[in-house]
Structure 1
Amino acid sequence: EKDAITINFFNEYFKGIDLCNIAEIMDMAQDLMGLKFDDKAYIALMLHTAIAVKRINDNDCISADDIKLKNLKNSIEFNIARIIASRLEKHFNISVSKPEIGYIALHLMSSRARHIESTEDADQSMDKVEEGMLDFITDAVEKFESLLNVNLQNDMELQHGLLSHLVGMYKRYSLGVQQANPLKDEIMKQFPLIFSIAKNIFTGFGQRFHIEIDEDEIGYITMYFAAAVERASNKKIKRVYAVCPTGVGGAQLLMANLKSKFPNIRVIKCMSMIDAETIDNAKADAIISTVELNNKNIPVIVVSPFILEKDMEKITDVLSVRSEHQSYDFSLGKIYGQDISGFISMISDAAIFIEKVVRVLGISISNETYMGLVIHILLQICRGEHSSIPLSMNAYKEDHVSYEIRKAFKDLEAKYKFKVSDYDVFAVRSYLIGKESNADE
């Protein structure tokens, strides 16, 4: 069901773009390169190509200044990218510029870099570079462990992911090509400590391999370590007994709230007060109860079945686990796979917000505007409290449209703990401006 929601979401966003045709072109690219992309590379190339087609259709083409083509033109990947571009032009009736071809070539190079580990005839000098990179990654992981007090040594996903990224970065640098990171500012905001550590450690990587690592690359590296830290924290599962003598309903409420607010807590069993006061079980880290009780063998945490803020603090203090819902902080880690149910809930809430505004204003909007608004609202929620935005608001005046938008934002503000600024209202209003007349057509 979740996969269906995601597929429908992307099908709507890429409406009019036949993803099956793009998949066929990707298969052709694999044959021409003589390799098979892994899942991540295949999906990344698919999405980039679909976004490029949509951008070209919207007359939002990148300029020649956005990419250095000089060192790319003689590469095999650039020639294959030209073939891909030719197929795209034929299928979608568009004109693909050289900068767009260059970006496709970069993604092909990245895909080839992922494949290097399993290629028998890999260049020996590159093998030595990779060996040096693995040594550096091992040292970097140890430093992160020491500074963050977390165990990352056995995280093969971290090591393989970093190696793949660093090999691709090394090749891009050798071609004189830089890759911007559109999420850099958000990453620095969400993971300031990890970003700072990564910047300090990987400055040494740049010196060792004679390449320049800018903050865009540090941002990508930060994401690998942030995901690894999240995985490590998720492994620290605490096992508890639950006690709620008010009946089955109260017990179910307690367990549901524990599951929702503390994903790292597992309720072994729901038991009576009498059993809870006499049990001596080393398998349990604590007893979480809605009533006072005595047990000298296992810590007892007394809470409300609703698990209020003060209750979450008690549980955190005793069990050293983090609550996922104290401030509804949807970090990048959660959005990209760690809390997909929460992300789907955000999409639903954004849709409700839009429908409420559209209904009150008596307007109709296109599917494209609807999808744009959904994405915009999600980004607003994820940004949280806004910093100053470089936009003059002198000409902004509150009218009935802005008033209804601000009013509809109240529920989102309360649930996701962020403050709506004049700019937020202005941005949503910009999506809707001129749409009111549609209701009369």
Structure 2
Amino acid sequence: MTVLNKRQIELVNLLALENSWLPMTQVAEQLNISISTIRRDVEVINLYYLGNNKVISKPGLGLKLDVSSTLSVPHDTNDDAMLGILKSKRLISMTTDLLSDSPDPLSISALAEKYFISRSSIVEDLKKIEVWIAKFSLAISKNHSGTFISGTDYNIRMALKEIITHSVLSNYQMTDSRIDRFSRVQLIAEFGQENVANCMNLIALIEEELQGSISEPYYTNLFSHLLVTLRRNLHPGRNMAEQTFFIRYDNREWRIAENAILWLENEYQTRFPAIEVNYIYQYIISSGMHPVTVAETDNNHHDCTAMEYAGLLVNRLSASLDIDFSRDAGLKKALASHIKPMLNRLVYGIVIHNPLLEEIRNEFNQVFTAVKQTASAIHQEQHLALPSDDEIAWLTIYIQNALEKTKAKKRVILVCSSGIGTSQLLSSRINRAFPEWEIIDIVPGARLKKTLQGQPCDLIISTIRLDDIELPVAYVSALFSRNDIARVVECLGTDITRKEKCDAR
């Protein structure tokens, strides 16, 4: 059975909207993929439609969808029906068995006996499983011995990690207790008490050597990776093909990863493939808990440094959101600290899940969209792998926090015609009412325009009438009473509403 992944479904839907030929270059640009990838996807799509060439390709013309006969356009594999596999204990367990045993086959009879259901029910379950694993470039295969999942070891590991993260760990509260009791019970039932305990103990040893605590979501990521490592390597009788070529590093993180594998080998009295050191190393340097001492010869690390990336992101978001983030001294540094391990994750294909993704996307939609568009443009320019929505959501938190601090902190100019004593009284009362504000100058009306030319200002508070001023102006008395405070707040509210209406247009 051939299934389509998300990208191939997007290609079919794109062609379905066109009544004529669509040039391959245009398709490649819209889907952000190469022309060679498009050609491979077309072959898979036509195989999906039972060999009928539904997608026609002609040199010089491009691609066209053949709608001369009835065409069923496939649904996205990420819809609720497909996610249902992660809500069914039987499907989770069966998928875990198939992934763990791969490439060894399991017979339908053995599966039916284990799960106390009919063979026909097993066949239906396998269809659902095949649709779900397709997004990991995996497939259900059959031979004379039974049914198995075919694909690379890396993709099988990614699918197993997804099951652990979503079906077991996605609902627990992120507290200091790490993995809550309910999730631990489920993990023990699926992976065994000894394995769960050893993974937690090993992470504690890694943290001790790192001299720091691995925070969420990196703890869950490393924990699920270790569980998958045990599940894949401890299966009796499996002879897994070992990858022998990979880069070795001469730094502290690599030595910690080597010690972790030695600990597992002593604990289980078995040898683990050398590549497992590299896998753990990747998770350590992608955890974001400390400066990474990566060797200069590491060709996998891009020329676009984290600080350069942060600078580009801040400057472009300042323009797109019409907010000057340059005054937030800590924003670029905080972003760079997050971006450095993020770039490592993208290099190594490490996926992290953000449990607040939907809330962030809904609550801060404008900022989320701006960050996604800006980050995608930077990644394309720098030839980096595109970040997932989960990664975008983490970046959005930093920008939203800076945005709210920027809104709270105002640069204010006071315009006062009274004497020095009165103006100082006005200044002190404003500082008491709005302590986060910065009064950058106190000037008479005649000097205001010249002062504005020399420095940026968010709000003018004046005791005299002003003409031809584009900035928001709050008119107050020299004594700055409670009514004056209300006028200032009202002035700011009116200005924010005006800006939001402009943004909506």
Same fold by TM-score greater than 0.5: no
TM-score by length of 1: 0.39
* RCO higher in structure (CA 8 A, sep ≥6): 1
Report the structure, 1 or 2, having the larger helix content: 1
Q: Indicate the structure (1 or 2) with the bigger Cα radius of gyration.
A: 2
